[in-house]
Amino acid sequence: MARNEKEESIHIGFKETLALITPYFRKKIWEQTKSVVWVVSYLILFQLIVLRIPIKEAGVISLGIFAVILGLTFFMEGLYLGIMPLGETIGLRLPQKANLLTIMVFCLFVGIVATLAEPAISVLKQSGSAVNPWDAPLLFHLLNEGADVLFLSIAIGVGFSIVFGIIRIIYGISLSKFLVPSLIILILITIYSFNNDNLRLISGLAWDSGVVATGSLTVPLIVALGLGVSKASRTSDTTTGFGVVTLASLFPILSVFVVGLYFAPKLPQPMSKEKFFGNGITVEQSKLMFGEKNPETLFGAHEKEQNTQLSIHNKLVKIIEGILESFSGSLQAIIPLAGCLILFLYIILRESLPFTDELYLGILFVFLGLAIFNFGIFFGLSKLGSQVGNKLPSSFRSIELTDSTREIRNFDPKIVITATDEQGKKEEFFYLKDKKSFSQIPFREKNHDSQSEIYSYVPIHGPLFGKEDNLLGYFVALLFAFLLGYSATLAEPALSALATSVEEVTVGTVKKAVLIQAVGIGVGLGTLLGILKIFVGIPLLYILLPSYIFLVFLTLLSKPEFIDIAWDSAGVTTGPITVPLIIVLGLGIGNQLNIVDGFGILSSAAIFPVLTVLIMGLWMERSRRQSLSNIEAEEK
């Protein structure tokens, strides 16, 4: 018999609520702590033990690392509660209730909004300060005054990639029919760019942009949309829902090259610093690169700022500004994205979600998580990764520790001593007392201000493992690169989201842990190759061309379900954790070795995961056939 009594709500107090939530929250915090602590511990121990350099701003970095963990906890929980279910629901209803034009417009708009909200995109802008305008005018422009155009071009590329990816799923078109022509076009453009110094120097940025665009926010949404459309489409193979991420990592490369082709004729070619500031550029070119700012004043202030130690008050102000900026950026990123998805669901598709409370809670968590996470990235992981990256060349070469510059007051030039070597080359130095010991310091006339009687001393560190450019030092640096790529990938939330979806779609055939390990090893090998590119000066094209030819060959040998999964793995390996670490690593090494283009490591790191996953797929298929053969043999 049905009960007519009015159901009563259960009210619990704050303490009871806290008691219920705390164990769950503690579990989620611990999950993210495990994913981040290895990367952080590895970086810290490597700098302290191997490079033998103390960590600067340890307090700020510790605060940032805690923010990364807390932000990841909220962010990932919000994705699973709100963004992914919302995306999959829309993807499921799109083919049923919307025409092709509506689907295309929606996918384009969502792709643009989601990419602009991607935390990894903003990291690129931070790298603009590491590029000198005279060394790479076009690269400098795209990362500074032209950054908004660069980001928009990347977002448009992702938007169009989702359009083509969804169309591919609806009509059951093979991924290879989009993949092969896209790769051919990109390789041809890359070859063409090598004839122009400006375009050649943005090749690394262009290929890296394709990887940066597919991060922790974009990938789960794209995968959810793809899986939703796949379930509602005519095809019975749900793995065709994958592959959209692959296109999302290719189309932005083309869009960045297009922007580069547009601006290249308007900007000067690379030149010396003296020529650059000696009327080497026109007024129009100066405005395009610096806006209304004076380049000489700008770079003079920049150099002065680099050598200035911030006071405690200024550090606190900077942290507060960072918090406000992170929350403001998160609000501007999440509100348009969530609003677009919800309005499209209710107004265009006229659908409603059964669990609206979870949806709105998920969106709130994504907002909070993204804000806290962005703060943690810039004040934690990026600072730590930048320190290690800048100091890494000391394993095989002597470097200047510019962040450890010391001022010696009341300096008397009379204490300077002159020495000579066997060839008669003279060197000047003096002794500096540090606590109870004395150290020998090279004397540089340019570092001495005779008026203030201050000598600015920049410590020299390295090489740590022998003479200059010793092989052991290079080996240590390359080993570090592999382990960094591997460990940072394991901490990527986007990879975890993809691996979970793959395990569900393949009904456990492809285990989540196995896929994550295969991708991690691939990223480690790719990072090593990218670092080797900077060390040896290998053109990026020489890495990309043979690698992609080999991958296309493996693709033709592989089963369709592994093709989509493998190529999507390349797009999810470099999100908000891996991107800042690998970018600052490359730029840091490039600066120390006077290499203009420190980009290209991310694109190299994205090649090998495809290779390792395809090999894993071929091995699993071979094992399956072997098992079937054994069963048939036993039956006979």
DSSP helix/strand/coil, 423: coil
Q: Which helix (H) or strand (E) holds 538?
A: none
Q: In this model, does residue 259 exceed pLDDT 90?
A: yes
416 and 295 together in one domain = no
pLDDT of 11 reads 65
Q: In this model, does residue 182 exceed pLDDT 50?
A: yes
Q: Is 635 within a domain?
A: no
DSSP 8-class letter at 88 = H
Quickly state the pLDDT bin for 476 (edges 50, 70, 90).
very high
Least confident of 103-112, 313-322, 515-524: 313-322
Long-range contacts of 143-148 (CB under 8 A, 24+ apart): 143/205, 144/289, 144/290, 145/288, 145/289, 145/290, 145/291, 146/259, 146/263, 146/288
- For helices 493-505 and 218-232, what crossing angle results, to 10°? 20
501 and 415 together in one domain = no
Q: Is 193 within a domain?
A: yes
List for the chain the helix, strand, coil content (%; round to 5): 75, 5, 20
Q: In this model, does residue 447 exceed pLDDT 90?
A: no
DSSP 8-class letter at 270 = P
The Cα 129–Cα 299 span in angstroms is: 10
- The average pLDDT across 482-502 equals 76
Q: In this model, does residue 98 exceed pLDDT 80?
A: no
Q: In this model, does residue 276 exceed pLDDT 70?
A: yes
601, two tokens: 């490591």
Quickly state the pLDDT bin for 5 (edges 50, 70, 90).
very low
Q: Is 31 within a domain?
A: no
List all residues 6 or more positions away from 157 whose beta carbon is below 8 Å from its beta carbon. 210, 213, 248, 251, 252, 253, 254, 255, 256
Q: In this model, does residue 43 exceed pLDDT 80?
A: yes
Distance separating the N- and C-terminal Cα atoms of the chain: 60
446 and 531 together in one domain = no
Quickly state the pLDDT bin for 570 (edges 50, 70, 90).
low
* Kind of pairing between the strands at 454-457 and 437-442: unpaired
Q: In this model, does residue 236 exceed pLDDT 50?
A: no
Q: Is 40 within a domain?
A: no
Is the distance from CB of 307 to CB of 405 less than 8 angstroms?
A: yes
Q: Is 199 within a domain?
A: yes
Q: In this model, does residue 496 exceed pLDDT 90?
A: no
433 and 384 together in one domain = no
Q: Is 23 within a domain?
A: no
320 and 374 together in one domain = yes
CB atoms within 10 A of CB 500: 17
Cross-strand partners of 457: 406
List all residues 6 or more positions away from 528 whose beta carbon is below 8 Å from its beta carbon. 478, 481, 482, 485
* Kind of pairing between the strands at 460-461 and 454-457: unpaired
338 and 263 together in one domain = yes
Q: In this model, does residue 49 exceed pLDDT 90?
A: yes
**What share of the chain in percent tops pLDDT 90?**
6
- The average pLDDT across 271-281 equals 80
- Of 362, 281, 311, the C-alpha closest to 88 is 362
435 and 572 together in one domain = no
Quickly state the pLDDT bin for 301 (edges 50, 70, 90).
very low
pLDDT of 536 reads 81
Least confident of 106-120, 157-171, 193-207, 574-588: 574-588
Residues 354-410 have pLDDT tens digits of 677 788 888 898 889 888 988 888 888 878 887 888 888 889 888 888 777 888 888
Q: In this model, does residue 422 exceed pLDDT 50?
A: yes
DSSP 8-class letter at 539 = -
292 and 377 together in one domain = yes
- Of 336, 490, 374, 375, the C-alpha closest to 121 is 374
**What share of the chain in percent tops pLDDT 70?**
86
pLDDT of 3 reads 45
Residues 543-559 have pLDDT tens digits of 888 888 888 788 778 77
287 and 242 together in one domain = yes
Find which of 199-203, 315-319, 628-632 is predicted with most confidence, using mean pLDDT.
Answer: 199-203
- The average pLDDT across 3-23 equals 62
Q: Is 69 within a domain?
A: no
Q: What is the mean pLDDT of the chain?
A: 80
- The average pLDDT across 417-427 equals 83
The Cα 168–Cα 162 span in angstroms is: 10
- Of 44, 165, 147, the C-alpha closest to 103 is 165
Q: Is 379 within a domain?
A: yes
Q: In this model, does residue 613 exceed pLDDT 70?
A: yes
- The average pLDDT across 46-50 equals 92
Quickly state the pLDDT bin for 293 (edges 50, 70, 90).
confident
431 and 489 together in one domain = no
How many structural domains does the chain have?
2
443 and 529 together in one domain = no
pLDDT of 263 reads 92
pLDDT of 262 reads 92
- Of 124, 112, 33, 117, the C-alpha closest to 71 is 33
Q: Which residue stretches of 10-118 are H helix?
A: 14-45, 58-78, 84-97, 100-116
pLDDT of 6 reads 47
> Where in the sequence is the domain holding 130, given as residue range(s)?
81-299+315-396+469-624
Rg of the chain's alpha carbons, rounded to an integer?
27
219 and 269 together in one domain = yes
pLDDT of 305 reads 46
Quickly state the pLDDT bin for 297 (edges 50, 70, 90).
low
Quickly state the pLDDT bin for 2 (edges 50, 70, 90).
very low
Q: In this model, does residue 302 exceed pLDDT 60?
A: no
